[in-house]
Amino acid sequence: MPARERLSYEQAERVRTAQLATEPKRTGARRAPQALPWIVVGAVAVIAIVVSIVLVNLARGDAGANEATTGRPSTTAPSATPSPTPSSDAEEDADGAGDAEDEDPNEVPAVEVGPTSTLDIPAWGVTSQLSQKFGMTSYVIPDNVNLQLSSPLIDSLPEECAAMRSQWGVTQGADGSYTVLKPAERCEAAPELYDELWGLTDAFAKSVTPVG
Protein backbone atom coordinates (compact mmCIF):
# COMPACT_ATOMS: atom_id res chain seq x y z
CA MET A 1 0.00 0.00 0.00
CA PRO A 2 1.45 3.32 -0.96
CA ALA A 3 2.42 5.58 1.90
CA ARG A 4 -0.13 8.23 1.00
CA GLU A 5 -3.05 5.83 1.04
CA ARG A 6 -1.89 4.28 4.27
CA LEU A 7 -1.69 7.71 5.87
CA SER A 8 -5.22 8.52 4.70
CA TYR A 9 -6.46 5.20 6.03
CA GLU A 10 -4.88 5.77 9.42
CA GLN A 11 -6.42 9.23 9.68
CA ALA A 12 -9.83 7.82 8.81
CA GLU A 13 -9.45 5.14 11.47
CA ARG A 14 -8.47 7.72 14.03
CA VAL A 15 -11.51 9.83 13.24
CA ARG A 16 -13.85 6.85 13.47
CA THR A 17 -12.25 5.71 16.70
CA ALA A 18 -12.63 9.19 18.15
CA GLN A 19 -16.29 9.26 17.18
CA LEU A 20 -16.93 5.90 18.79
CA ALA A 21 -15.18 7.04 21.95
CA THR A 22 -17.31 10.17 22.26
CA GLU A 23 -20.73 8.64 21.49
CA PRO A 24 -21.29 7.00 24.93
CA LYS A 25 -20.56 10.28 26.69
CA ARG A 26 -23.09 12.12 24.55
CA THR A 27 -25.68 9.43 25.21
CA GLY A 28 -25.09 9.71 28.96
CA ALA A 29 -25.34 13.46 28.76
CA ARG A 30 -28.63 13.14 26.92
CA ARG A 31 -30.03 10.61 29.39
CA ALA A 32 -29.18 12.72 32.45
CA PRO A 33 -31.65 15.54 31.65
CA GLN A 34 -34.32 12.97 30.81
CA ALA A 35 -33.90 11.22 34.21
CA LEU A 36 -33.88 14.46 36.26
CA PRO A 37 -37.72 15.00 36.34
CA TRP A 38 -38.27 11.49 37.65
CA ILE A 39 -35.78 12.09 40.43
CA VAL A 40 -37.58 15.30 41.42
CA VAL A 41 -40.96 13.55 41.36
CA GLY A 42 -39.64 10.77 43.55
CA ALA A 43 -38.17 13.22 46.07
CA VAL A 44 -41.45 15.16 46.25
CA ALA A 45 -43.36 11.93 46.80
CA VAL A 46 -41.06 10.94 49.66
CA ILE A 47 -41.42 14.37 51.28
CA ALA A 48 -45.21 14.21 50.93
CA ILE A 49 -45.29 10.80 52.60
CA VAL A 50 -43.16 12.04 55.51
CA VAL A 51 -45.34 15.13 55.97
CA SER A 52 -48.49 12.99 55.93
CA ILE A 53 -47.09 10.71 58.61
CA VAL A 54 -46.18 13.70 60.80
CA LEU A 55 -49.64 15.26 60.42
CA VAL A 56 -51.37 11.99 61.26
CA ASN A 57 -49.28 11.61 64.41
CA LEU A 58 -50.03 15.19 65.47
CA ALA A 59 -53.75 14.70 64.89
CA ARG A 60 -53.74 11.54 66.99
CA GLY A 61 -51.86 13.31 69.76
CA ASP A 62 -54.38 16.21 69.85
CA ALA A 63 -57.32 13.81 69.84
CA GLY A 64 -55.83 11.87 72.75
CA ALA A 65 -55.25 15.06 74.72
CA ASN A 66 -58.85 16.20 74.12
CA GLU A 67 -60.20 12.84 75.21
CA ALA A 68 -58.10 12.98 78.36
CA THR A 69 -59.36 16.48 79.10
CA THR A 70 -63.04 15.90 78.40
CA GLY A 71 -63.11 12.48 79.98
CA ARG A 72 -61.85 13.74 83.33
CA PRO A 73 -64.77 14.64 85.67
CA SER A 74 -64.84 18.13 87.15
CA THR A 75 -64.04 18.25 90.84
CA THR A 76 -64.62 21.97 91.44
CA ALA A 77 -66.35 22.41 94.76
CA PRO A 78 -69.22 24.93 94.88
CA SER A 79 -68.18 28.15 96.56
CA ALA A 80 -69.99 29.01 99.73
CA THR A 81 -72.05 32.18 99.52
CA PRO A 82 -71.67 34.24 102.70
CA SER A 83 -74.95 35.12 104.28
CA PRO A 84 -75.52 38.88 104.43
CA THR A 85 -75.36 40.36 107.87
CA PRO A 86 -77.46 43.39 108.69
CA SER A 87 -75.35 46.50 109.00
CA SER A 88 -75.49 48.76 111.99
CA ASP A 89 -76.52 51.67 109.74
CA ALA A 90 -79.52 49.72 108.49
CA GLU A 91 -80.50 48.89 112.07
CA GLU A 92 -80.16 52.53 113.10
CA ASP A 93 -82.26 53.64 110.13
CA ALA A 94 -84.92 51.11 111.05
CA ASP A 95 -84.89 52.26 114.67
CA GLY A 96 -85.04 55.89 113.57
CA ALA A 97 -87.98 55.19 111.28
CA GLY A 98 -89.77 53.40 114.11
CA ASP A 99 -89.12 56.29 116.50
CA ALA A 100 -90.38 58.80 113.94
CA GLU A 101 -93.61 56.85 113.55
CA ASP A 102 -94.06 56.67 117.33
CA GLU A 103 -93.46 60.42 117.87
CA ASP A 104 -96.49 62.53 118.74
CA PRO A 105 -96.37 65.75 116.69
CA ASN A 106 -98.03 67.58 119.60
CA GLU A 107 -95.59 66.31 122.21
CA VAL A 108 -93.27 68.98 123.57
CA PRO A 109 -89.60 68.10 122.91
CA ALA A 110 -87.51 67.40 126.00
CA VAL A 111 -84.88 70.12 126.42
CA GLU A 112 -82.43 71.27 129.07
CA VAL A 113 -83.81 74.59 130.31
CA GLY A 114 -80.72 75.50 132.30
CA PRO A 115 -80.47 78.65 134.44
CA THR A 116 -83.44 81.03 134.29
CA SER A 117 -84.10 84.72 134.87
CA THR A 118 -87.23 86.35 136.24
CA LEU A 119 -89.39 88.07 133.65
CA ASP A 120 -92.24 90.17 135.03
CA ILE A 121 -95.32 90.86 132.91
CA PRO A 122 -97.12 93.79 134.61
CA ALA A 123 -99.83 94.03 131.94
CA TRP A 124 -101.09 90.63 133.03
CA GLY A 125 -100.10 90.97 136.66
CA VAL A 126 -97.89 87.91 136.49
CA THR A 127 -94.25 86.91 136.70
CA SER A 128 -92.33 84.10 134.99
CA GLN A 129 -89.01 82.32 134.65
CA LEU A 130 -87.26 82.52 131.26
CA SER A 131 -84.30 80.37 130.28
CA GLN A 132 -81.07 82.30 129.88
CA LYS A 133 -80.50 80.43 126.62
CA PHE A 134 -82.78 82.99 124.97
CA GLY A 135 -80.23 85.72 125.64
CA MET A 136 -81.25 89.37 126.09
CA THR A 137 -85.03 89.09 125.70
CA SER A 138 -87.84 91.59 125.19
CA TYR A 139 -91.54 91.12 124.50
CA VAL A 140 -94.65 92.83 123.18
CA ILE A 141 -98.38 92.13 123.72
CA PRO A 142 -100.02 93.70 120.64
CA ASP A 143 -103.52 92.32 121.27
CA ASN A 144 -103.39 91.85 125.07
CA VAL A 145 -103.71 88.11 124.45
CA ASN A 146 -100.54 86.94 122.75
CA LEU A 147 -97.16 87.80 124.25
CA GLN A 148 -94.46 87.70 121.58
CA LEU A 149 -90.83 87.15 122.60
CA SER A 150 -87.82 88.60 120.80
CA SER A 151 -84.31 87.29 121.49
CA PRO A 152 -81.01 86.36 119.80
CA LEU A 153 -81.89 82.66 119.97
CA ILE A 154 -85.18 83.22 118.15
CA ASP A 155 -83.52 85.50 115.60
CA SER A 156 -81.04 82.71 114.77
CA LEU A 157 -83.74 80.89 112.81
CA PRO A 158 -82.67 80.72 109.13
CA GLU A 159 -84.16 82.94 106.45
CA GLU A 160 -86.31 80.05 105.26
CA CYS A 161 -88.13 80.33 108.60
CA ALA A 162 -87.86 84.10 109.09
CA ALA A 163 -91.64 84.47 109.43
CA MET A 164 -91.52 82.26 112.55
CA ARG A 165 -89.32 84.69 114.48
CA SER A 166 -92.36 86.65 115.71
CA GLN A 167 -94.44 83.60 116.60
CA TRP A 168 -92.87 82.49 119.90
CA GLY A 169 -94.29 83.41 123.31
CA VAL A 170 -97.32 82.84 125.54
CA THR A 171 -101.08 83.03 124.96
CA GLN A 172 -103.38 84.08 127.81
CA GLY A 173 -106.64 82.16 127.92
CA ALA A 174 -110.02 83.56 128.93
CA ASP A 175 -109.92 81.37 132.02
CA GLY A 176 -106.56 82.82 133.09
CA SER A 177 -104.49 79.89 131.83
CA TYR A 178 -101.29 80.31 129.87
CA THR A 179 -100.19 78.17 126.95
CA VAL A 180 -97.20 78.18 124.64
CA LEU A 181 -97.36 80.28 121.50
CA LYS A 182 -95.42 78.76 118.60
CA PRO A 183 -95.49 78.49 114.80
CA ALA A 184 -98.02 76.05 113.42
CA GLU A 185 -95.50 74.55 110.98
CA ARG A 186 -92.15 72.97 111.78
CA CYS A 187 -89.00 74.70 110.53
CA GLU A 188 -87.59 72.04 108.21
CA ALA A 189 -84.45 74.10 107.58
CA ALA A 190 -83.53 73.99 111.31
CA PRO A 191 -85.56 71.26 113.04
CA GLU A 192 -83.26 71.00 116.07
CA LEU A 193 -83.43 74.74 116.76
CA TYR A 194 -87.19 74.64 116.30
CA ASP A 195 -87.50 71.85 118.89
CA GLU A 196 -85.27 73.70 121.34
CA LEU A 197 -87.30 76.91 121.03
CA TRP A 198 -90.50 74.94 121.47
CA GLY A 199 -89.27 73.24 124.65
CA LEU A 200 -87.86 76.43 126.19
CA THR A 201 -90.96 78.49 125.37
CA ASP A 202 -93.23 75.80 126.78
CA ALA A 203 -91.23 75.85 130.03
CA PHE A 204 -91.58 79.64 130.08
CA ALA A 205 -95.38 79.44 129.62
CA LYS A 206 -95.71 76.89 132.42
CA SER A 207 -93.73 79.13 134.79
CA VAL A 208 -96.16 82.07 134.54
CA THR A 209 -97.75 82.75 137.93
CA PRO A 210 -99.73 85.65 139.37
CA VAL A 211 -97.75 88.25 141.29
CA GLY A 212 -98.18 88.08 145.07
The residue ranking higher by pLDDT, 200 or 80, is 200
pTM of the full structure: 0.54
pLDDT in tens, 10-48: 666 666 665 555 555 444 445 555 656 667 767 777 787
* pLDDT score recorded for residue 94: 56
The per-residue pLDDT of the chain, averaged, comes to 79
Q: What is the mean pLDDT of residues 83-105?
A: 58
Residue 197 phi, psi (nearest 5): -60, -40
Query: CA angle, corner 107, sides to 149 and 128, nearest 5?
Result: 35
The answer to whether 95 touches 107, Cβ cutoff 8 Å, is no
User: With pLDDT > 90 as the criterion, what percentage of the chain qualifies?
Assistant: 50
CA dihedral 105, 132, 149, 199 (to 10 degrees): 10
Residue 193 clears pLDDT 80, i.e. is over it: yes
Closest by CA position to 119, among listed 130, 134, 103, 104: 130
Residue 9 clears pLDDT 70, i.e. is over it: no
What are the sequence ranges of the domains in the chain? Answer: 1-69, 115-210
